[in-house]
Amino acid sequence: MAFRDYQDFLRALESAGELRRIAEPVSPYLEITEIADRVMKSGGPALLFEKPFATAPRLGTSNPRSAVMGEPSIHPAGTPARSTAINEVPVAINALGSRRRMSMALGCEDFEEHADRLRDLLKPEVPKGPMDALRQLPRLFREIKTVPPKTVSSGSCQEIVLQGDEVDLTKLPILTCWPEDGGPYITLPLVFTYDPSTGKRNVGMYRIQVYDRNTTGMHWQMHKTGMRHMEAAAEAGKRIEVAVVLGGDPAYTFSAIAPLPPGIDEMLFAGFLRRENARLVQCKTIDHRVPEDAEIVLEGWVDPTERRLEGPFGDHTGYYSLAADFPVFHVECMTMRRRPVYPATIVGVPPMEDGWMGKAVERIFLPLIQLTVPEIVDMNLPVEACFHNVAFVSIRKKYPGHAYKVMSAIWGLGGMAFTKMVFIFDEDTNVQDVGEVLFRLGANCDPARDTLLSRGPVDQLDHASLAEGFGGKIGFDCTHKWPGENGFVRDYPKLIRMSDDIRAHVDSIWARLGL
């Protein structure tokens, strides 16, 4: 199912017992994020801070469920229709911070359903005859017809339009997350850009430090598509128009972090996830189309020749990323709903909300990885290793050295190229079970023989790398060794297993044992 907007999603969370309202006035400066961090690490619910400011509560706000258009409101009673101050915009955080909430965000019981849908599209069964082919057409048509985004004439994201001197980002409850952050940061932005050469759209998620009422940083890292678009604009001697979207159907947020193949539009992928076309509206001051159901939209531009110190920032690595010069985003127009909710997240020492966002990426895009590397059975990118640092991979081993082939393939796969440590196991290893992974690693890997050292691109935020964006990688062959493989000449022992007939017999009498 597709959500009408972000607030529709929040209402669904609340109805499912997955959202907690916080009526206590709380400051966006460190307090909200400290509360959210504790809740995230304890596996707690999504949070809606109704009064994100550090002053006494207003009168007339005791009832948090006022009626708007016949539905429960996300806003406290008494909130003005035109939100212009920080204490009139609630903050939602940790909305995607569990498997259930991440699945709800993607409109399904469990997000692996989308992996099955992708697998069916990538490897459709060969029809057994003309009638079988005809029977398959309706399913394929249903999957495809909802994919392309469509443009609409108006949207709720433009109920309020502020331009020029009316733009003031400081009136939004933008969070300062950690004590040594360079300032307040927009942490859940969808950044829309177009390639000046091809006209292709990209939607990425890049942190945005707020400098003043209408100027921010734009953290386009060296490997990101936003940086490629800005470089193309620089070659043409032009500045690049940018739209920053907050909110909308959470499928848009997931699409912005999805490792899509080059040329696949994120809004097209969002339509696939939603099973309903993304509805886009023309921006007011720039030639961009953005989701009409967004909460807040910032319109502006970046001059490729301009840089400003950005950071430090408490990052997903669990460490502060250091301050450095990055492009500057100038906001000339801010549009919003009459009663917006400000979506936010916080990153830091895992586990955090982004852990479930990353786990959904891992599971949903496994079929795409298997399309290129079909011998892969399963993959686990541990949350504690920030996903891109470690990969546990099981394979169907077919020949000596097969593990090394898979290591090399992984280091050549888009975002998987940033993986620093790859552990390859036999197909009967449950790589989702870290205990079993450690058992197999210790039993089957000889560091002097079964490791492969390499170098290549790494995450620009990796502070331990040889250089910024470039560093070492290592692969571990944790499979059973074949005769003659990499100099192994001894017999390889068998894994201890009970015989199937005894296991079946014990299963049959287990209930009578009283255990």
Structure tokens at 197: 């050469």
Q: Are 407 and 422 in contact (CB under 8 A)?
A: yes
Give CA angle at 135 (130, 137), nearest 5°. Answer: 95
The CB density around residue 319, as the number of other CB atoms within 10 Å, is 16
Question: 315 an active-site residue?
Answer: yes
Show the tokens assigned to 265. 């539009």
Distances (CA, A) of 101 to 2, 93, 274, 343: 14, 12, 15, 15
Q: In this structure, are residues 177 and 221 in contact, taking their beta carbons and an 8 Å threshold?
A: no
DSSP state of 301: E
Give the N- to C-terminal CA distance of the chain in Å, as an integer.
44
Six-digit token pair at 230? 């800005």
Please give the Cα distance from 71 to 230 (Å, whole number).
Answer: 43
Q: b/e map of 61-78 (b: 16 or more CB within 10 Å)?
A: beebeeeeeeeebbbbee
Specify which residues 494 forms β-bridges with: none
Alpha-carbon distance of 250 to 105, in angstroms, equals 5
In angstroms, rounded to a whole number, what is the distance separating the alpha carbons of residues 96 and 13?
Answer: 10
Please tell me whether residue 513 adopts helix, strand or coil conformation.
Answer: helix
Token readout for 499 is 């015989």
Residue with tokens 């399913």: 139
CB distance 101 to 95 below 8 Å: yes
Burial 392-420 (b: 16+ CB within 10 A, else e): bbbbebeeeebbbebbebbbeeeebbbbb
Q: Which two tokens stand for residue 41?
A: 């690490």
The catalytically annotated residue of 5, 181, 265, 315 is: 315
CA distance 477 to 211: 48
8 Å CB contact between 99 and 110: yes
CA distance 347 to 41: 11
Question: What is the residue type of 447?
Answer: P
Give the separation between CA 355 and CA 348, rounded to whole angstroms: 11
Query: Which of 105, 83, 92, 307 has the alpha carbon at shortest distance from 209?
Result: 307
Write out the two tokens for 299.
Answer: 């319109």
Residue 259, token pair as written in the block: 């490792």
Please, what is the Cα angle at 347 between 174 and 210, to 5 degrees? 30
**Residue positions annotated with a catalytic role:** 315
